[in-house]
Amino acid sequence: MIEGVFVELSLIILTATLVSGAMLLLRQPLIIGYILTGVLVSPYFLNIVHSPESIETFAQMGIILLLFMVGLNLNPKIIKELGKPSLITGFGQFIITTLIGYLICNYFGIPLIESLYIAVALAFSSTIVVMKLLSDKSDTGTLYGYLSIGYLIIQDLIVIMILMIITSFSGEGTILEIAIGTFLKGFGLLVGLFLIGTYILPKVTEVIAKSQEYLLLFSLGWCFSLSILFYYLNFSVETGALLAGATLALSPYRYEISSKMKPIRDFFIVLFFIMIGSQINIAYILPYSELILALSFFVIIGKPLIITSLLGSLGYTKRTSFFAGNTSGQISEFSLIMISLGVAAGHLPLEILSVVTVIGFITISGSTYVMLYSNKLYLHLSKYLSIFERAGKRIDMQNRFKEEDYDVILFGYNRIGYDILDSIQKIKKKYLVVDYDPVIIRKLSKDGMNCRYGDANDYELLDDLKLSKAKMFVSTIPNFDTALMLISKIRESNKNAIIIVVSHQIDEAMKLYHKGATYVLMPHLLGGTRASMMIKEYGLDINKFLKEKIHHIDNLNHRREVGHNKPKHERK
């Protein structure tokens, strides 16, 4: 028996490796490869799975660990910072999408309960897919990135309540009794766990973090302990896992916990999506083909328009609203989890799981390409998107600048730009800082510096900057395509300007020089250049090196004070 399960798992993982490799070549999320693997190993194709109970056990572990890590990111401090826009877009999109989704299902004759489940499933967007693509594009620090993360967190909070409701309604009693009982138990648990997470767990993790191995073991134990507790209280183990992560979210060691848990989660979650894919039955799908196409179209097109409209009504620019809306055009891994629970609780027939899984497959694939090519889409759609803008000053124009000519325009302030701006100020030239991180712009504006919120990829912004008047342009943005576009755009109207850009590859640096760059900064080579200059200048004089050391430590301490301690991708 054990040998049989081992062979099955080995074949499944081998198939997943090959299929997911093909997805990488097609620039698709690996989740698509996992679902396709499930379809291939199912009884309807290769028929590899002969021990579904064992695979389901592993899949259940994957769900628990996934929700635990989502909980780790539900930091109340972050939710407070995101504020009103995230609440309005999160709840507003959920309500509107659920209503429209229900009406579409009702039009196709789907029964009430099934329509409600499907409609709610459509309202959630994939945290995994969105965060992965934002990270790949280095857009987690943009305003639209913050807004996207904000509504995803609100959705995660809604998930907690829905999972509680689904598992509670599988018990006995009247609807009123179940509702009151669920509320009282749920409220009591949330209050108790909030107090534990705020006052006890941070101190506990501080003590046990001295052993990294034990920190991992404690985190797993806490996750499964709460899952078991919720199971015996007639809630779902998934809800327990989610709240177990949330209670650790205030711990100063949540990043360490998250990094250690991620490889374990990734392995088990692969098996969950493979199991979902293996349950897709073509015979179930064919009668629902028109419904699947209609709902998929609504998710890919309709949901982004809802987010765009809501953000536009709040006063954001059409560009910010459009990019944030584009991140919502898929259903979530939690949609599949919710439908799976509905099937397990006897609320839904098995074919609904197949229907929603296919919708997930279509929408995740489609929305990935929409996000990857959102810049090009915006260029073509910009003039039509003005209907989503509210008249008056844009809320995301947190600027402190005058409409005048500047000697130097700096794109990107953080880290490299910090020192460059200091030098620009010392030579007493009029400057303007352009950055797409609203936190940085807010700080610069508060400090009285000339700044403007904007993305260097935005052609409308560049046209508005009077590029022909500036004498120097400095871009600290490491993206090669952005650097190429900036150089090309500047050279169209300003042949004599000094253009300094950043590159991490020698071949790319040569292309940037050929395109018209005046100088290309290569950060990973600058350290060696600086060290060699010190050796030439100081020789073997230790006192001069120690003096340099003191100066460097002072600079590092100041950098840490202004938030340059870690790159953003490491802090997420």
Range of the domain at 509: 408-521
**355-369 exposure pattern, b = at least 16 Cβ within 10 A, e = fewer:** bbbbbbbbbbbbbbe
**Residue 501 pLDDT:** 92
How many angstroms separate the CA atoms of 16 and 51, rounded?
Answer: 17
Q: Is residue 14 part of a domain?
A: yes
- Asked if 571 and 255 touch (Cβ cutoff 8 Å), the reply is yes
Looking from the CA of 381 toward its CB, the CA atoms found within 13 Å total: 18
Q: Is residue 556 part of a domain?
A: no
- Asked if 245 and 253 touch (Cβ cutoff 8 Å), the reply is no
Rounded alpha-carbon distances, angstroms, from residue 159 to 74, 352, 556: 12, 19, 42
How many angstroms separate the CA atoms of 479 and 137, rounded?
Answer: 9
- How many structural domains compose the chain? 2
| Whole-structure pTM value | 0.72
Among 505, 521, 537, the domain boundary falls at: 521
How many angstroms separate the CA atoms of 376 and 351, rounded?
Answer: 38
- Asked if 117 and 338 touch (Cβ cutoff 8 Å), the reply is yes
User: Quick one: 304 and 236 in the same domain?
Assistant: yes
**Residue 159 pLDDT:** 77
User: Quick one: 306 and 422 in the same domain?
Assistant: no
How many angstroms separate the CA atoms of 166 and 346, rounded?
Answer: 10
How many angstroms separate the CA atoms of 60 and 191, rounded?
Answer: 27
How many angstroms separate the CA atoms of 572 and 567, rounded?
Answer: 9
User: Quick one: 476 and 352 in the same domain?
Assistant: no
Q: CATH number of the domain that 77 lies in?
A: 1.20.1530.20
- Type and span of the H or E element at 83: helix 76-107
Q: Is residue 508 part of a domain?
A: yes
Among 360, 388, 416, the domain boundary falls at: 388
- List pLDDT tens digits, range 349-383: 989 988 998 998 889 888 888 888 888 898 888 88
Strand pairing class (498-502; 472-475): parallel
User: Quick one: 13 and 129 in the same domain?
Assistant: yes
Residue located via tokens 């700080």? 443
How many angstroms separate the CA atoms of 558 and 560, rounded?
Answer: 5
User: Quick one: 422 and 349 in the same domain?
Assistant: no
User: Quick one: 374 and 414 in the same domain?
Assistant: no
Q: Is residue 547 part of a domain?
A: no
Q: Is 48 helix (H, G, I), strand (E, B) or coil?
A: coil
User: Quick one: 98 and 132 in the same domain?
Assistant: yes
User: Quick one: 358 and 440 in the same domain?
Assistant: no
- Asked if 298 and 101 touch (Cβ cutoff 8 Å), the reply is yes
**Encoding tokens for residue 207?**
């003590």
How many angstroms separate the CA atoms of 478 and 461, rounded?
Answer: 19
Q: Is residue 443 part of a domain?
A: yes
Rounded alpha-carbon distances, angstroms, from residue 101 to 46, 275, 537: 35, 26, 70
**Encoding tokens for residue 438?**
């609203």
Dihedral sign of CA atoms 105, 107, 109, 111 in order: positive
Q: Is residue 366 part of a domain?
A: yes
Q: Is residue 528 part of a domain?
A: no
What is the Cα gyration radius of the chain? Answer: 26
User: Quick one: 376 and 460 in the same domain?
Assistant: no
Among 388, 420, 437, the domain boundary falls at: 388
Q: Is residue 396 part of a domain?
A: no
Dihedral sign of CA atoms 339, 274, 131, 308 in order: negative
User: Quick one: 364 and 431 in the same domain?
Assistant: no
Write the DSSP assignment of 520-538 as a string of letters: EE-HHHHHHHHHHHHHHHH
How many angstroms separate the CA atoms of 306 and 100, rounded?
Answer: 11
Residue numbers in the chain where pLDDT is lower than 50: 567-572
Sequence-distant (≥ 6) Cβ neighbours of residue 557 within 8 angstroms: none
Separation of first and last alpha carbons in the chain: 42
**Residue 178 pLDDT:** 59
How many angstroms separate the CA atoms of 68 and 326, rounded?
Answer: 27
Q: CATH number of the domain that 447 lies in?
A: 3.40.50.720
Q: How many helices (H) and strands (E) does the chain have?
A: 27, 6
User: Quick one: 276 and 412 in the same domain?
Assistant: no
User: Quick one: 377 and 412 in the same domain?
Assistant: no
Three-class DSSP labels, 451-484: EEECCCCCHHHHHHCCCCCCCEEEECCCCHHHHH
